[in-house]
């Protein structure tokens, strides 16, 4: 299969590093013009310079702005007023004992992980429907289905994204626009390395720390290793393409077999 996104414009939120950067790179390699998003212009410019070293068919566009705020969303929309592909990747996570999560933290996780995605969907989906083609994706997590004891506020926000995705898929029914969520499993990023060391002995070398983390905290994984960001990006690129025209309203798993169920 050849994925060709030539002539398409995409926005990937939180794309200066980690999974978001891998997704943005994958879409650009397939020929899309990709908006790179981060809170500040400096981090976005640095990311674009780094990504530009890759061989890409598409262009990279700076789209800075904190999309967890109205003002930040407006800033992004000024940089990229139209998109054919929206990938709501931005997300925060941190281990925290359940009874120590205060109201402000619950609100923060909803604002950043859920409401930011809703805000951008409201902004871009009408144009996609009017043009008769579009792709909206929400990067969810295995934590949406298997709520982790160490961060139930994060799990809550990712469960909400599954509902949001299904709901907006119904709104776009019959229009040529597809809306899906991608359930990512435990993935190897810089942020996850820090998270792993919150839960295992910091004196361990990374390979041993990863094995200890999977053994003690993610034993359900059939892959038995952390997923690489590019493996998530491959699924996103496919769902962004015309090849995935019959997939909508779905929660597609790239979880390494972590979720012990036939359906999400």
Closest CA to 235 of 247, 223, 220: 247
CA atoms within 13 A on the CB side of 209: 16
Q: Which of 186, 181, 183 is nearest to 227 (CA)?
A: 186
d(Cα 196, Cα 211) in Å, to the nearest integer? 10
State the catalytic residue, choosing from 109, 124, 138, 154: 154
Distance, CA of 232 to CA of 187 (rounded, Å) = 9
SS3 34: strand
Token readout for 208 is 């041993």
Please provide the distance, in angstroms rounded to a whole number, between the alpha carbons at the two ends of the chain. 26
75 in Cβ contact with 49 (< 8 Å): no
Query: What is the rounded distance in angstroms from the CA atom of residue 177 to the CA atom of residue 243?
Result: 13
Q: Which has the closest alpha carbon to 110: 66, 68, 149, 71? A: 68
Does 154 participate in catalysis according to the annotation? yes
Give the three-state DSSP class for 21: helix
Instruction: Indicate the SS3 state at residue 132.
Output: coil
Q: State the catalytic residues.
A: 154
């Amino acid at each position: 299969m050849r994925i060709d996104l030539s002539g398409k414009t995409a926005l990937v939120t939180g794309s200066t590093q980690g999974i978001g950067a891998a997704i943005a790179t994958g879409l650009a390699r397939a020929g899309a013009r990709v908006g790179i998003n981060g809170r500040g212009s400096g981090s976005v410019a640095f990311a674009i310079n780094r990504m530009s070293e890759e061989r890409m068919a598409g262009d990279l566009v700076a789209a800075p702005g904190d999309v967890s705020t109205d003002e930040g969303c407006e800033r992004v929309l000024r940089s990229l007023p139209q998109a054919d592909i929206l990938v709501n990747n931005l997300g925060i996570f941190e281990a925290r004992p359940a009874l120590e999560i205060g109201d402000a933290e619950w609100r923060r996780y909803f604002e950043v992980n859920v409401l930011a995605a809703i805000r951008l969907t409201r902004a871009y989906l009408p144009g996609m429907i009017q043009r008769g083609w579009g792709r909206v994706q929400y990067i969810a997590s295995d934590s949406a289905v298997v709520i982790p004891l160490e961060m139930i506020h994060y799990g809550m926000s990712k469960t909400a994204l599954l509902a949001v995705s299904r709901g907006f898929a119904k709104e776009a029914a019959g229009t040529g626009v597809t809306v899906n969520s991608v359930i990512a499993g435990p993935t190897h990023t810089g942020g996850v390395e820090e998270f792993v060391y919150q839960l295992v002995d910091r004196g361990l070398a990374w390979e041993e720390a990863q094995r200890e983390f999977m053994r003690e905290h993610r034993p359900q994984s059939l892959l038995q290793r952390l997923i690489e960001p590019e493996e998530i990006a491959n699924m996103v690129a496919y769902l962004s393409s015309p090849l995935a025209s019959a997939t909508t309203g779905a929660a597609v798993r790239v979880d390494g077999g972590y979720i012990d169920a036939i359906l999400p």
